[in-house]
A and B are shown apart, each in its own frame.
Chain A
Amino acid sequence: DSGVTQTPKHLITATGQRVTLRCSPRSGDLSVYWYQQSLDQGLQFLIQYYNGEERAKGNILERFSAQQFPDLHSELNLSSLELGDSALYFCASSLHAADSPLHFGNGTRLTVT
C-alpha cells in the first residue's frame, strides 16, 4: 500500500459532463502530481502542486484544472468531457521535488460514453 488514496476507483459519465477526481497524498508528503495513462500514450504528466501552489505543468488541457487544498489533498477537475478523455488518472505524492520517490495511488478509471 503506497499510502496514496484516490477516489472514486471507477467513473462512468457522458460526453460534455464534468467530473472531479480526488487524491489524498501519503502522510507527510507535500507534493502532489497528476498523471493520465492511456493505452497509446503511456503515462502523461499533467500537473504538480507543492504545498498548495502549482509547481509544474505538463500536457494538461485547458478543460482540465486542479488544485491542492490546505490539508494537502488534491482534486482534478475534468470538464466538457470527450470520448478521448477516457483513461486511467493517477495521483502521486512525494516528500519534496520530483527526485524524491513518487508514490502512486491505484488510479481512477474514467470512462466517457
Chain B
Amino acid sequence: QQQVKQSPQSLIVQKGGISIINCAYENTAFDYFPWYQQFPGKGPALLIAIRPDVSEKKEGRFTISFNKSAKQFSLHIMDSQPGDSATYFCAASSARQLTFGSGTQLTVLP
C-alpha cells in the first residue's frame, strides 16, 4: 500500500530532448507528490511538487503531470541539458510519511 513504483531505472537522452519519468502508486491516501533531484555526493533536493487537486504543474523546464484516476504521475524535463544529469526520485506523502520511488538515473548527452 505504501509503495511507489518508478520507471525507468535509467534514461539516456540527447541534449535538447524531452526526459520523461513515470511513477505509480496504490495508496489513495497520498496527498502530496514531490520530485527530488540528487547529484552524486549530495543529498536529494526538492525539484517540484504537486497536490492531487491539479492535473499539471510547470516550473521552468520541469512539468509534473498527474492522473488521479490512474494513480500515476510523471516528470517531464523539456529541452534536457547535460547539467540535468542526476538521479530523480518521485515520492508520495500521507500521514506525514514520505515514500520514495526507486529512482531514475538520467544521463543527458551533449
A residues adjacent to B (C-beta < 8 A): 2, 4, 33, 35, 42-43, 45, 48, 55-56, 58, 90, 92, 97-99, 101-107
Query: Is the Cβ of A48 less than 8 Å from the Cβ of B44?
Result: no
What are the 4 closest A-B residue pairs judged by CB atoms, nearest first?
A104-B43, A99-B32, A43-B100, A42-B102
Contact A102 B101 (CB under 8 A): no
Residues of chain B contacted by A92 (CB below 8 angstroms): 43
Smallest CB separation, B72 vs chain A (Å): 19
CB distance from B25 to the nearest CB of A (A): 15
Asked, given contacts A42-B103, A43-B89, whether A101 binds B46 with beta carbons under 8 Å apart, the answer is yes
Which residues of chain A come closer than 8 Å to B102, judged between CB atoms? 42
- B interface vs A, CB < 8 Å? 31-32, 34, 36, 41-46, 49, 89, 93, 95-103
B99 contacts A45, CB within 8 Å?
yes
A101 touches B103 (CB 8 A): no
- Taken together as a complex, chains A and B put the C-alpha atoms of A107 and B104 apart, in Å, by 19
- Given A43-B103, A48-B96, A102-B98, the answer on whether A2 and B45 have CB atoms closer than 8 Å is yes
Residue of B nearest to A99 (CB): B32
A48 to B99, CA, bound (A): 12
Q: Is the CB of B45 within 8 A of A104?
A: yes
